Amino acid sequence: MVLQCVVIDSFLGEVKVWHLTSDSKWLVISSALEVGAHKEPVTMVKWLSSQQVGSSRSYQLISLAGDGCIIMWKADIQNKKVEVLQRFALPASPGKGGGLLSKNTGSCGGTCLAFPYQDKSTFIVGCETGSLLKCSLRAGAGETWTNSPVIFSFQSHHGPVYDVQCSPYHRNLFLSCGTNSACYLHSLLESQPLLSLTPSCGYLFSASWSPSRPCVFALASQQGHVLIYDLMENKINPVIELPNKGKKLPAVFCVEFNQSRPHLLASGYAQGKVDIWHVSSKLKTQQIHEQEMLNTIMEIFNT
């Protein structure tokens, strides 16, 4: 969205914006002195939107932190200013079974956040407690800064949730993974997961949907393997494990498909190494009726 700027999160609870022009690489905005800023490490930050007012352009960001707060920021790059637009607090005890929640709030540390396909007001939050929460930026508009954004909860993981990723091909599908060694395929409309995948590779730290194949996604595992699933071929086991099992490797902390070159897949390891994998043409080329298959999975496992 902002080609010359990058936003980063901080272990000190700050949200920072850096300008990456050819003649400077300087910090232009920091939330450190803002009233209502995070008090614990920031775990996720995302660009939301932009607005042009005269010659000045401002941007909206959203951040999540271990203090259980979700903050929407307005960042004015030209005037080097940042302000809090909205501030929410996650429920202290969201519950484990899923469903509608009360408005009680407290400190439930957030770990990850994702917005569904073509929706910038609803978002999914994963928590340190294992809770998975459906939230809305419209929840409690105009109320106190500690109002809960939660409108629904999903079946929890047994342990912290490390990643949530929404499908780029279906507005109601998302993946979650965490320390219980399971990856759940969820519908935004149901509290229980549609599919539960347990590859027996230890903790699952990261997930990434293919940008070109609606039924393909990859997972990063504690045991050093990148697992690629193709739901058209197998709805239980991965179709590829990179590298092959048998090798003792450091944990894979993150995995990501290249959005413009879908045949490339990056994996980041605990010791700081990054591998770039070249996936087969079968895994990058959309299959006949694949989108329909994704819709069928929703219908079959929703009944």
Expressed in percent and rounded to 5, the helix, strand and coil fractions of the chain are: 5, 45, 50
User: Do residues 116 and 124 touch, judged by C-beta distance below 8 A?
Assistant: yes
Q: What is the pLDDT of residues 232-285, one digit of tens each?
A: 999 999 999 998 666 678 999 999 999 999 999 999 999 999 999 999 999 999
pLDDT for res 1:
46
Side-chain-side CA neighbours of residue 221 (13 Å): 24
pLDDT for res 105:
45
Q: Which residue has the higher pLDDT, 164 or 1?
A: 164
258-262's contacts with Cβ under 8 Å and 24+ in sequence apart are 258/211, 259/211, 262/210, 262/211, 262/212, 262/213
* Whole-number Å distance between alpha carbons of 133 and 152: 6
Quick one: pLDDT band at residue 102, thresholds 50, 70, 90?
very low
Quick one: pLDDT band at residue 103, thresholds 50, 70, 90?
very low
Rounded to two decimals, the pTM is: 0.86
Over residues 50-55, the mean pLDDT reads: 60
In single-letter form, the type of residue at position 186 comes to H
Q: What is the pLDDT of residues 132-187, one digit of tens each?
A: 999 998 876 555 556 889 999 999 999 999 999 999 999 999 999 999 999 999 99
pLDDT for res 298:
77
Q: What is the pLDDT of residues 284-298, one digit of tens each?
A: 999 888 988 888 877
Give the least confident one: 31-35, 107-111, 272-276: 31-35
DSSP H or E segment with residue 299: helix 290-302
How far CA 43 is from CA of 73, 135, 185, in Å, comes to 15, 17, 22
Evaluate if residue 195 carries a pLDDT over 90. Answer: yes
Those residues with Cβ within 8 angstroms of residue 92's Cβ, 6 or more apart along the chain or in another chain? 68, 104, 105, 106, 107, 108
Q: Is 45 helix (H, G, I), strand (E, B) or coil?
A: strand
